[in-house]
Structure 1
Amino acid sequence: MGFSSSFLVLVALLALASWQAMASDPSPLQDFCVVDKNSPVFVNGFVCKNPMDVKADDFFKAAELDKPRMTNKVGSNVTLINVMQIAGLNTLGISLARIDYAPLGQNPPHTHPRATEILTVLEGTLYVGFVTSNPDNKFLSKVLNKGDVFVFPVGLIHFQINPNPYKPAVAIAALSSQNPGAITIANAVFGSKPPISDDVLAKAFQVEKNTIEWLQAQFWENNHY
């Protein structure tokens, strides 16, 4: 390989490395960046308050995550602790959620666009799974018991179901973003405001328009609080 060819390969590798660096979140450049909720400045994340004004309560929330939560009609309740609840999480790339499941309740298929999730069962049993991206769409699932751990990769559709008809279940999830986001598939597709055209959805799901209209008329309740 000549000098010019070697030089071109080196440039290509440097460009690839630079692109990969830009494709991930930047590392924090200070100990913390507590949210300044009064700042009029808009950035990707939140503006830092003056470190001299930071106090212990910026890193604390009396969330009472040890107490059961009331579930909704799908039989679950996700209590998320992210940067909106703890200002000190800004730039730290992590959040936490308690998930309560009624007997036969489910946390329906959803994605986190900005986070990988690692889930630990605290009480009960869960049937969990996720689907890989196109073109394979491989479905991976597992039954989890108390103390078991499962990982849902960033952006992939996943769910959890409590298969027990008599006992509730509880899990704790850690997520690799201060603000992971959640897109519940049925809510987004059939409950969007304004609604997606029934012509579009009928063709996409290969069903009659009246089926789509019936689905769009349902009340798609949010279980992320």
Structure 2
Amino acid sequence: MELNVFAGARRIALAVSGLWALGCLAYAVFSEPYVLPTFAVQTYGASPVPADNCESRDATKYLTVQAASSERVSIALCFIADRADNGSYLIPYREVVSAANPEAARVYTARKEALRQGAATDAARLTEYLLAMPIDSSEPRTVWMGSENDTEVRTYIDNLAASFRLSPSDIEWLQELKRQKLWEQWKQALQILFGGLAVGWAVTAGVGWIVRGFLGIPRGKDHRPV
């Protein structure tokens, strides 16, 4: 019995193509798309709003929140960094009385001098006095900023994260984001499926053409003509 190498190669290629197609479709159907919704606090005192992502200079807090009656989702809460006078990017964490207030201006000056002289106790006392002063909305807004790792900044971030809740519009946006990610997963799976099949069959046809050329077998035939 003569062995038909070309027929066997076609069957192997067909079987591999079938397994490839099943694997791609199984990935699209059974794999849960990775979704990490991001909400950003644009400025101090602002409510978190949906965002695309966080920059590396921003502060990020990961937490799990209730999305529906029986569903909890993981989200990223992003605190947008602002540029300080020295050029570095810091996280706004507390609004205080403005230096436009004459009394506050004197306290700011004394506090700055205490810090310059290294009088930590006096500086802390003056800081507490500033924090206790009422804020006048008619004066320029003054917001203190700090590094993400500062204790005051971490306390502000943790308190806001603990009080964060998804609104109905946020849940609707979240569902739309999931549908978008699912469609992207299907599109990627189909691209890999048809791209892999095209490459596989092109390689099979190319190898067959080369082998037939060496053996003197006409195109479309499995044997040399008698």
Structure-2-length-normalised TM-score: 0.19
Judging by fraction of residues, say which structure has more strand. 1
- The one of the two structures with greater contact order (alpha-carbon pairs below 8 A, sep at least 6) is 2
Whichever of the two has the greater Rg, that structure is 2
Judging by fraction of residues, say which structure has more helix. 2
